[in-house]
Structure 1
């Protein structure tokens, strides 16, 4: 374990829609970068299928998972969407911009992608928050020390 693993982060599923191809990826590397305007950054590994799709789309969603959604985090974090429909059997609705919003999440933020740049073996995608909604007051699932945390 290295010192970086001591940094705890909220867990989210980043969702996207590329020409009707829905995909999502579990991420813990999310960072607020500005209050005005509201900007967020997400970090995605360059070898991921979601990286390929995020390079092509204009919008993406951030679904903040509750402490009771470890199964959702594992589902979207362990299977590639390249050859598998990750949304089969998953409850969700579509946003105005046709981005999947997962049922049961604590909050949802929809971002317009305004830039991206390389960062080592990952790529940083910068998004401007155009829509946000808090659905409940449950605690957000955390990730640190290479595992999920509920407290």
Structure 2
């Protein structure tokens, strides 16, 4: 199959990418209405080591897209095994994704308690490509829990485990 001859469709691409394990994170930001906003992502990766930075891809259709684009800072919460309900909530179209969660403001960033890692990031660059914007964040603060396993997204399901 090749994309050029039309036989490799977006559905084929989605099926192929579903076979690639990905980490799961919740991105949080203060909205224009001063309320916390967030979305779940699997398109998060390390970008540079000096200075430490991450790269995340955000769909233009995300309800917190404009808030993320305008924000000076955002939070990255790397999820751990057992947080699949949180991942599902932040992947949903729920009006208040923070309801029932333990969270607090870290300056201008909503910070959710209990994730494997929390990274406070300063937006460095953002550039559009097709229906997504790639955002690069310089990591300003990191807090990590020890002895917990990361959540993986594989075959369109959360809560996969890494086994040794």
TM-score in terms of structure 1 length: 0.90
What is the rounded CA distance, in whole Å, between the counterparts of 2:138 and 2:45 in structure 1? 12
- Give 2:18's aligned residue: 5
Q: Which residue of 2 aligns with 1:53?
A: 67
How much has 1:31 moved relative to structure 2?
1.0
Distance 2:154 2:120 in 1: 25
Who wins on radius of gyration, i.e. which is larger? Answer: 2
Q: Deviations 1:98-138 (Å, cap 9, x if unpaired)? A: 31221211110011001111122211111000000102321
Q: Which of residues 53, 56, 68 in structure 1 aligns to 2:82? A: 68
Residue of structure 2 aligned with 1:25, choices 39, 45, 53: 39
Q: Give the whole-Å Cα distance in 2 for the aligned partners of 1:50 and 1:8.
A: 25
TM-superposition CA deviations, 1:39-97 (whole Å, max 9, x none): 101111111112111111110000011111000000111125xxx222122111221x2
Give the match for residue 128 of structure 2: 118
Does the CA-based 8 Å contact 2:102-2:113 persist in structure 1?
yes
Choose the corresponding residue for 1:148, options 130, 143, 158: 158
Larger RCO (alpha carbons 8 Å, 6+ apart): 1
Conserved? CA contact 1:67–1:140, under 8 Å: yes
- Give TM-score, length-normalised by structure 2: 0.83
Q: Secondary structure at the match of 1:6?
A: coil
Structure 2 distance, partners of 1:149, 1:67, is 6
How many Å separate the matches in 2 of 1:145 and 1:120? 24
Query: Does 2:103 align with 1:92?
Result: yes
Displacement after TM superposition at 1:38 (Å): 0.5
State the aligned residue count. 147
Q: Which residue does 1:137 correspond to in 2? A: 147
| Cα-Cα RMSD | 1.5
